[in-house]
Structure 1
Amino acid sequence: MTVQIELETMKFYACHGVSPQETRVGNTFVVNLVLTAPLEKAVASDDLEDTINYAVVYEVVKREMAIPSKLLEHAAGRILAALKDTFPQLLAIELKLSKLNPPFGGDVYSASVILRESYG
């Protein structure tokens, strides 16, 4: 049995971007994750040791978001790699990273990248 864990709308203030303004002032970013893993043991045991700890997932994402990147793709790729390193039992990760109010002169709520990776 595989289980999907979804963490929605994790908000971070970070300095990702190409322009000097973005890297100096920063912006609000939103991360959404779907993690797929074989967690049938947790379904039966009700034991935190048998699942993926959401708090640890959040800390991994927070740590990677604190490292400035020019591109959303790069930041998202780092998050994916760090999650897989931390949780080798993951079978798949879907990550959406959004920059709110991107600074390119239009009325746009967000600009996003979506990465999907399957393992094994």
Structure 2
Amino acid sequence: MDTITLCNIKLYAYHGCLEEETLIGSDYRVDVKVKADLRKPAATDILEDTADYVLINQIVEEEMKVPSKLLEHVARRIADRILHEIRMVEQGKVKVSKINPPINGDVSSVSVNYSFTR
């Protein structure tokens, strides 16, 4: 199984359990890795034959715009849309990181890693 990886997608979003998190927002980083058989697009050189990383990035941007309390929920929505919209994807991982989380400590980020499979 081959992989396509999007690293360090930077976004500003409004996720969190605290009211101020949904009002003020914060910086996020998302990484996505999908697995699919890439032999056909490697041979044909046709965009429609592959798991288009532009579409994956668009899915991430759109789902990150929908406020959620939990990063787990956001990651699952991203994974579900990838599986629904890109049929050749068999499995993957989504990592959603909140930069400088409000947890009363010197922590640069917190992350949720969510694995998915068809």
Question: TM-score normalised to the size of structure 2?
Answer: 0.96
* Corresponding residue number in structure 1 for 2:107: 108
Pairs within 5 Å for 1:7-46? 7-46=6-45
The amino acid across from 2:104 in the alignment is G
* Structure 1 runs not aligned, ≥5 long: none
Q: CA RMSD in A?
A: 0.8
* Structure 2 runs not aligned, ≥5 long: none
SS of equivalent to 1:79: helix
Offset, 1:43? 1.1
The amino acid across from 2:101 in the alignment is P
Offset, 1:63? 0.5
Offset, 1:103? 0.2
C-alpha separation in 2, matches of 1:99 and 1:14: 9
Offset, 1:93? 1.1
* Corresponding residue number in structure 2 for 1:91: 90
Deviations 1:68-102 (A, max 9, x none): 00000011111111111111221111111000000
Question: TM-score normalised to the size of structure 1?
Answer: 0.95
C-alpha separation in 2, matches of 1:78 and 1:6: 18
Equivalences, count: 118
- Residue 68, structure 1, aligned to residue 67, structure 2: yes
C-alpha separation in 1, matches of 2:49 and 2:87: 13
4+ residue runs of structure 1 moved beyond 4 angstroms? none
The amino acid across from 1:92 in the alignment is Q
Offset, 1:54? 1.2
Deviations 1:43-71 (A, max 9, x none): 11111121111111111111100000000
SS of equivalent to 2:115: strand
Offset, 1:118? 2.1
Percent identity of equivalent pairs: 39
SS of equivalent to 2:105: coil
